Amino acid sequence: MIETISGLGFGGLLIAIVALAVWILVLVWLAQRVLRFIGLRSGWAPLDGKNMLAAAVLLTGAIHLGNYLLDVLEASMRGSAGAVELSFPGAFLIGSVAIGVGIAAIRWHRQQKRGE
């Protein structure tokens, strides 16, 4: 049954799970820095909806536009005449950024409660 999941096999599935965990850890690290940057300059609390929304929008936009620029670079190196589309970010990107921002906000809130 595990071997039939998207044809990855057990090894591919294990690599995908590890890559997803690393991706979430990187997003939590980035989100925590963005949340602190916004929060310390605006006075918004870590769990304030405005702070979390601003961090999520900034991270989603930065990652999505970075991916778009990589697609443009790849198209120019291939010499293809077709234009690269800038579309709405995918559900995976939005979901993973939301998870990362949520975890980072909770971590920062707990650190503030401990007095760090």
pLDDT at 115: 76
Tens digit of each residue's pLDDT (9 = 90 or more) over 51-75 = 999 999 999 999 988 888 888 888 8
pLDDT at 1: 44
* Cα distance from N-terminal residue to C-terminal residue, the chain: 47
Q: Is the pLDDT of residue 33 over 50?
A: yes
pTM for the whole thing? 0.76
Q: Residues, the chain, total?
A: 116
Choice between 52 and 84, residue whose per-residue pLDDT is larger: 52
Handedness of CA 52, 62, 42, 37 (dihedral sign): positive
Examine the pLDDT at 40 and tell me if it is beyond 50.
yes
